Amino acid sequence: MAISMFDRFLTTPEMAAVFDDAAVMQAMFRFEEALASAQAEEGLIPAGAARAIAGACKVQLYDIGAIVDAGRRAGSLAIPLVKELTKTVALYDADAATHVHWGSTSQDVIDTAMVIVTREALALLDDRLRQLSAIMLSLTQQHMDTPVLARTLMQPAQVTSFGFKLAGWLAPLVRSRARLREAAARALQLQLGGAVGTLAVMDQAGPAVVRRTAGSLGLKVADMAWHTQRDEWVRLGLEVAVLTGSLGKIATDLSLMAQGEIGELAEPSGAGRGGSSAMPHKRNPVSAMIALAAFERTPQRAAAILACMGQQHERGLGNWQAELAEWPALFLSADGALAALQEAFAGLTVDAKRMRANIDSLNGLVFAEAASIALASAIGRPAAHALLEQLSGRVVDSGRPLGELLAEHVKNEKKLRDCIDSAALAALFDPIRALASAKRCALEQLSALRTDYPTFLSKNDNP
């Protein structure tokens, strides 16, 4: 699969190689070789024919571009591929050539090839997820006691723990890794049904040929041909899309926290990374940018493969072909986003001082809710809320800290002075104390992840 330079910008060479034209065609040849071998073992074709076919199933023997061009005219890439394979086998064994692709159909070849290369693509995603999750787990554990602003609707809300924020980024990745494994176990199936999915040409030997072919390729035996039963396959693709969505969320937060005005996080720099052609001072979050760009393309791909499910009768006209064209892009985007974020988090700068400064710059306003609840026991919640709302307005007008204004008010109000402990009141404005519940929640989430997904997150996980 030839991809543009802009596509290459948003993915990795490793994933591009998985879906390269030569790789997909070699997977098609692997199917033909495995099919011939299985049929020979079941006595359907001569053993010598199977050996001759296997000898010709090498992609380097063929003009890939010519096969692709011919496939457009024929309506299927498999048709010219089988034709060229047959001609090559005939050069050495004319009788063997009559047994090429026997009892199979074009969709069997192409679907199985896509399953084979998708298995490799999933292995790449799994390994990158393992590495990124380990890095993020380490950062989560390091920053449980690092206070940072939580923001809702793009505005400062309360103080939380940066470890809590990291745990919230990590958890969907752990779940996606598990879901991808589960979906792959169901979807990575051999496709072999013949013309209309009934294995009619192979008759009684058909099921045995299917088992042998699947075993040779290391694939699951499907209950029946899934030529137009695309549910498990599409679910797998949608899990990849969900993963990319989670990566887009992380990239969004990273880019926002890396803004110069915020300055709480920074991606690695140096060696020309993140620079500007016009502004020497800039340190652009290029990993977040790549992950976001990759994510932006994913919803359309996911929608496209869903739209392709309404296939006609026993073989789709146009929709299956569209699905094939969309499928690799899901993996190219996911791997590009994963690799970019892995690079970012491996060298991430966490500026705890800036995080604290951003909290302090708000003059205690982010502690208003906690203070309101503390006063509610003395004057009731509505009155406490109204008081904190009034004092918050004075903070904005005067620039004085909320804690200072509240302490003065309590001191001047006998009802409050008699029942509110000044030390306890002051403690409400301590960022470390304020993050205690966030830290507890983060630790509970990590514990739950280790319990629910022990294969994917353990106490021994290290970057």
Question: Is residue 381 among the annotated active site residues?
Answer: no
Give me the torsion for CA of 191, 196, 201, 203, rounded to 10°.
Answer: 80
Candidates 130, 211, 273, 315; catalytic one:
315
Which amino acid, one-letter code, is at 344? A
Sign of CA dihedral 195, 197, 201, 205: positive
Token digits of residue 263:
């300055």
Catalytic residue among 8, 72, 276, 458: 276
Q: What sign results for the dihedral spanned by CA atoms 280, 283, 289, 290? A: positive
Torsion of CA 429, 433, 439, 444, to 10 degrees: -120
Rg (CA), the chain: 30
Report the alpha-carbon angle 427-433-436, nearest 5. 150
Residues comprising the chain, all counted: 463
Assess whether 398 carries a catalytic annotation: no
Smallest Cα–Cα separation from 7: which of 453, 305, 328?
Answer: 328
CB within 8 A of 22, min separation 6: which ones?
A: 59, 64
Dihedral over Cα of 219, 220, 224, 227: its sign:
negative
12-39 core/surface letters (b: 16 or more CB in 10 A; e: else): beebbebbbeebbbbbbbbbbbbbbbbb
Q: For residue 175, what are its two tokens?
A: 């779940």
Centre a 10 Å sphere on the Cβ of residue 327 and count the other Cβ atoms it contains: 24
- As annotated, the active-site residues are 276, 315
